[in-house]
Amino acid sequence: MEYAFSPQLHTNRTILAPPCAGRRPSFPATSSLKTGSRIHLPPSSLKISNGAVCRAVTSPTYLETTETTEIDWDNIGFGLVPTDYMYDMKCSSDGIFANGELKKFGPIELNPSAGVLNYGQGLFEGLKAYRKEDGSILLFRPEENAKRMIDGASRMCMPAPTVEQFVDAVKMTVLANNRWVPPTGKGSLYVRPLLMGSGAVLGLAPAPEYTFLIFVSPVGNYFKEGLAPINLIVEDEYHRATPGGTGGVKTIGNYASVLKAQKIAKEKGYSDVLYLDAVHNKYLEEVSSCNIFVIKGNVISTPEIKGTILPGITRKSIIDVARSQGFQVEERAVPVEELLDADEVFCTGTAVVVSPVGSITYLGKRVEYGNRGVGVVSQQLYSALTSLQMGLAEDHMGWTVQLN
């Protein structure tokens, strides 16, 4: 179906929309986005100002704004920068999400008895958007995040958006915050989807309502060291996850439980904590929010996914990249002793991408790698993956999604 487009002016922005029964899409007032930027919003189920939904929209709608942002992109770091829009979509007891909409970024309202506040019924995801040299924007494997959220929601007894709903919502949110995507090589736009039990519940039970929310923030390096070696300590008292638990899904409680050990480690000068398995206390699991890899010769070993380790999307991507470059990758139980004679060690994650490890301390013994420099293999894999993510290399894997 085709519609003739006509402009509608609102405070420093122009909205182009199809005339749907005399109504037009409503967007929160904002002073945002780079001059002349045009944002394509997915055409399905757009929320209209009077609360109705116009499902006949099949041509694209655009949001155009006239202001720029002033950020020192060379010193952005990894922290929250409030942006313009967030995405919100709700699901009632029927288990179906519908009628998502963009809202101005800001506080949300929750009942004190919300399931997420009382019983931790919540999940989150993390992915990034990158600015290409031609100004367009790339997402990296967003469908993988959608699938992982669906898996996690099943474990946490929650409904989840479909893969299509998830990806469309991510696209909409990124494009609506276009001006916050850093220039090529200066960082990325971190995308944080949340799924939470927002309905009120007093007794222990699944919430009667769920909210899917996405917000974004421009970021630089996760570790202050950047692409420089980090220093880890092996934790032999606290554990991150146990068999049969929720360590293999991205539920919010997994991260609060690592804060104590991480705080202690950072007070001693370490960058982060490397956890061991809870049964034998001898096999590597993961760092607080990263997967771990150990290199010896041409063999790259990483702990196998068995329910206590998060199936990282960066982890999965690095395994494929390494194999394509001729490395032998083993997913198996990795004894902590293998750290003692490893050639290199590195971590992977959405936030860190690839982070080389300069030293690991275990039971008071410190082992250093590569003269505390960035290892050759770590650098090689980092360069290969980030080149794909930023559109600097041809994507033979089919992993990137171009937005504009």
Torsion of CA 365, 369, 372, 375, to 10 degrees: -160
The tokens describing 201, both together, are 């519940």
Distance, in Å, from the CA atom of 6 to the CA atom of 9, rounded to the nearest integer, reads 10
User: Are 7 and 15 in contact, with CB atoms under 8 Å apart?
Assistant: yes
Residue 116's identity, in one-letter code, is V
Q: Sort strands 61-65 and 38-41 into parallel, antiparallel or unpaired.
A: antiparallel
Q: How far is CA 126 from CA 41, 75, 123, 137, 187, in A?
A: 21, 22, 11, 17, 15
Sole residue written with tokens 């202050």: 224
State which H helix or E strand residue 296 sits in. Answer: strand 291-296
Residue 165's identity, in one-letter code, is Q
Distance, in Å, from the CA atom of 226 to the CA atom of 356, rounded to the nearest integer, reads 10
Burial (CB count <10 Å: 0-12, 13-18, 19+), residue 58: exposed
Burial (CB count <10 Å: 0-12, 13-18, 19+), residue 2: exposed
User: Of these residues, 250, 260, 266, 316, which one is catalytic?
Assistant: 250
- 103 tagged catalytic: no
Q: How far is CA 310 from CA 64, 301, 314, 354, in A?
A: 39, 16, 11, 16
Distance, in Å, from the CA atom of 184 to the CA atom of 200, rounded to the nearest integer, reads 44
SS3 176: helix
What is the full DSSP assignment across 106-170?
Answer: S-----TTBHHHHH--EEE--EEEEE-TTS-EEEE-HHHHHHHHHHHHHHTT-----HHHHHHHH
The backbone region for 32, taken as left when phi is positive above 0, alpha when psi lies in -120 to 50, beta otherwise, is: beta
Q: Which residues are catalytic?
A: 250
